[in-house]
A and B are shown apart, each in its own frame.
Chain A
Amino acid sequence: MSHPSHQPHSGDHPKAASAFIADQERAQWHDKALWFIREKRDRAAASLPEWETLREHAAAIKAHTIANLPQYLEQFEANAQRMGVKVHWASNAVEHNKIVLGILQQHNVKKVVKSKSMLTEECHLNPYLEQNGIEVIDTDLGERIVQMREEPPSHIVLPAIHLKKQDVGDTFHKHLGTNAGADDPQYLTEAARGHLREKFMAGHAGITGVNFAVAESGGIVVCTNEGNADLGVALPPVHIACMGIEKLIPRAADLGVFVRLLARSATGQPITTYTSHFHGPRPGCELHIVLVDNGRSEVRESDDFRLSLNCIRCGACMNTCPVYRRSGGHSYGSTVPGPIGSILAPALDPEKHKSLPFACSLCGSCTDVCPVKIDLHHQLLTFRRELALKNLIPLTKRISMKLLSFVLMRPWMFSLGGKLMRMIVPKLPRMFIYNGMNAWGKQRELPPMPPQSFRELYSIRKHVAAHNRPNTLKGNTQ
């Protein structure tokens, strides 16, 4: 099964967003579904009096780890190897995919079960393995649904959040033979369970992501709600865990900070249903860990964007983002959508994802929900500068901003321009103002055009005051 949409459409967020919004009812529903999760997150966070302290701690641990990443990576590798883990290093996505394929071919694996891993999405592992004759089954329910539909996930925690139960019913009817029109969630989930059980039994190897890797122990932690990672690696003899190098934390004691933040931020749960710790392979089996850079070292060098490496992929920034909620994950055309995706994607390919840093009203809500204190909206703003420096913002915008700056540096020109606008606009026929050229006026009226500007009124007021001053002074002396 191939994923044509794993090669996302060229990034034009406004266009894709406006197509999503054209279905008003669905857009409203999508917004409300995610806002519900944001509110759940608020209640879960409020249940911990130490919430803000936890965020501070998490950010400090991440800052320390990223600063000392090379030594922690080496420590992790040594400790993992001591437990019998085979550790692999990949500098980019291509290397990562080759390593995984190599391990699978070595064991003559034809069928793989995979639990959720944003890293393998980032590397586009599935299509690569499929091209090489290996069947990959995503075992997370949401991921399996979008996989059947040959769509990429639209959210990193809730991959099928863009789909209604009726959509899932239709998909399952087509692929699993469930009754036509059936959309009862329990019925559908049971059908998926039966289907996935067969796949689990048939899998020759299991691939998982990694939520946290502990340097001092060499252990890895995988968090799921469905237990699919556990089943997927408990049955077959080979477990391949793929992780970005930023997933490291120094000590097992630090896990408490992150585990408490992760599920609360992601879904408003106190903890994920399964928080599984892997310390070396099971007897007679193999555990491979693939450590992937894929641009992270470069981000680590950047003072402006280093904090983005703090990300624990909780998705809270998506749930709170007013733009994401109303445009859907697919409108971003990137592996990770939403605020954090709008930083990660253009960092890898600025040309392709140049519209993403502008898909943001700079409201700052993402920055305040982020459990690891990434200054998301500031980074999005900074990224706009990077794009401008690379000549990747539209020429019309570049020219109009230059012109605007020129006018604003000349107060007389600014005042004259304002005066002309206020004089002319009210006299123009409506069709001259409200037409296809005026994006503001498509759904909104222009502001009213007052006869005088403040600076004009202010100067009149000052004159009047100066004129009245002798009287005022007399009044004061009495």
Chain B
Amino acid sequence: MKVGLFIPCYVDQLYPDVAMATVEVLERFGIEVEFPTAQTCCGQPMANSGCTGDTRPLAEAFLRIFGAYDYVVCPSGSCVSMVRNHYEEYFHENPAFETLKKRTFELCEFLVDVLQVKNIAGSFPHNVGLHQSCHGLRELHLGPPTELMNRGTPNKVKQLLEGLDGIKFMPLTRPDECCGFGGTFAVAEEAVSCMMGQDRLDDHEKAGTQVLTAADMSCLMHLEGLLRRRGKKVAVMHVAQILAGRAPDFGVPATGGAR
């Protein structure tokens, strides 16, 4: 099985360890991982701004770059949702795309649904606040959102983390409210975006979160930015980093650079 590693543009440039941790987790399960260097970005920033004409070439490039892999795996629910739910208009009934779409997975869902991973060995004896990134939750159904009443879907992200020894999830009053990142929204609606983020952080602080994690680094980039401005010593880690066995860094900055 050959997996094409699909890394969000900003993770490649700003959070290389998140991508490296993804490689390590996949390799631990004997997966051959390849990072095609022709990739840059799925085009979501352009699409979310309404500029679909500027998105099209990137969508087409995505199909060329990743079309031949058995699976495509990405440590971001948001970027996977872009491919799975929002590429349709660029590939009307294109069978190559339909195949690629079915083979493109977010990391946690790939582990749970494709590799059928029940448990990842390791230990993480920390108070963890799990942020439910919206696109993973509501567009990929990585877990059951609080709005829906058919609560049958297991939470794939939590399920994987739960296997780690000593991990403790801190209870939030609003378990799946948006952090306010929202791509260009973070800048265009700066005031609302930051208030949303701060409200999430206050909830985590009350809950006693020491390590803040999520399956999407973009939410964490925004929350970490708010935390660091206020000098808060909360470790911020992508789920892949926890699964790869990284230790939390309670200093500032918490993520980012190479280990």
Contacts and interface: CB of A to CB of B under 8 A. Distances in A.
Interface of A: 13-14, 17-18, 21, 27, 31, 35, 42, 45-46, 48, 51-52, 320, 322-323, 326-327, 357-365, 367-369, 381, 383-389, 393, 397-398, 401-402, 404-405, 408-409, 411, 414, 418, 421-422, 439-440, 442-459, 461
B192 interface: yes
A323 B192 contact: yes
B242 interface: no
Interface residues of B, number: 81
Contacts of A454: 7, 11-13, 15-16, 19-20, 35
Given A17-B192, A447-B256, A365 B55 contact: no
Contacts of A443: 190, 194, 198, 226, 229
Interface string B188-213: 11111111111100000000000000
B4 interface: no
Interface of B: 7, 9-17, 19-20, 23, 35, 37-41, 43, 45-55, 57-58, 61, 86, 134-135, 137-139, 145-150, 174, 177-178, 180-199, 221-222, 224-226, 228-229, 253, 255-258
A320 B178 CA distance: 10
Contacts of B53: 388
A51 B195 CA distance: 32
B35 A368 contact: no
A86 B11 CA distance: 64
Interface of A is mostly: helix
Contact of B145 (A13, A368, A455): A368
A408 to B, nearest CB: 4
Given A385-B50, A451-B257, 11 more contacts: A322-B177, A387-B50, A398-B51, A405-B46, A411-B38, A422-B13, A442-B194, A444-B225, A453-B12, A454-B20, A458-B23
Contact of A51 (B48, B58, B149, B177): B149
Contacts, number: 227
7 contacts: A14-B190, A323-B192, A359-B192, A365-B134, A383-B50, A387-B50, A449-B14
A70 B196 CA distance: 44
A362 B134 contact: yes
Contacts of A326: 192, 195-196, 199
Closest 5 CB pairs of A and B: A361-B182, A444-B225, A384-B50, A448-B256, A388-B50
A362 B149 contact: no
A363 B138 contact: yes
A52 B138 contact: no
A14 B43 contact: no
B258 A455 contact: no
Nearest to A447: B14
Given A14-B190, A397-B49, A409-B61, A363 B178 contact: yes
B82 to A, nearest CB: 11
A444 to B, nearest CB: 3
